[in-house]
Amino acid sequence: MAGNLQQRLDSIRSKAQLLQSRYLMLLDEKRAADARILELQDTLERQKKEINIMQQQIEHLRVVTTLNPSRDDVERSRAILTELVRDIDKCISELTE
C-alpha cells in the first residue's frame, strides 16, 4: 500500500510539474500577446493622427483649389472684361459726339 501511495504521489507531482510548466508557457504567451496589443494600439494611434493630418491637408487643398481659378475661368473672365471695355468705349465715343 505504501508503494501504491508513493506511485500516486509521484504521479500527482509529475502532473503538477506539467501543469506548472504549461502555466508558465501560457503566461509567457499572454505577456507577448499583451506587448503585441500595446504595439498595435500605438500603431493605430499614429495612423489615426496621420489620417487626421492628411484630411486637413485635403481640406486645405480643396479650399485652395476653389479659390484658385481654372484656365477656363480666367479666359471667361477676360472675355467678359473685354466685352465690358468695348461697351464702355462705345458709350464714351457716343457721349463725345
CA atoms within a 13 Å half-sphere pointing along the CA-CB vector of 78: 7
Is residue 2's pLDDT more than 80? Answer: no
- pLDDT reported for residue 70: 78
Spell 32-62 as b/e; 16+ CB within 10 A means b. eeeeeeeeeeeeeeeeeeeeeeeeeeeeeee
Is residue 3's pLDDT more than 70? Answer: yes
pLDDT digits (tens, 9 = 90+) for 38-96: 999 999 999 999 999 999 999 988 888 777 777 887 889 899 999 999 999 998 988 88
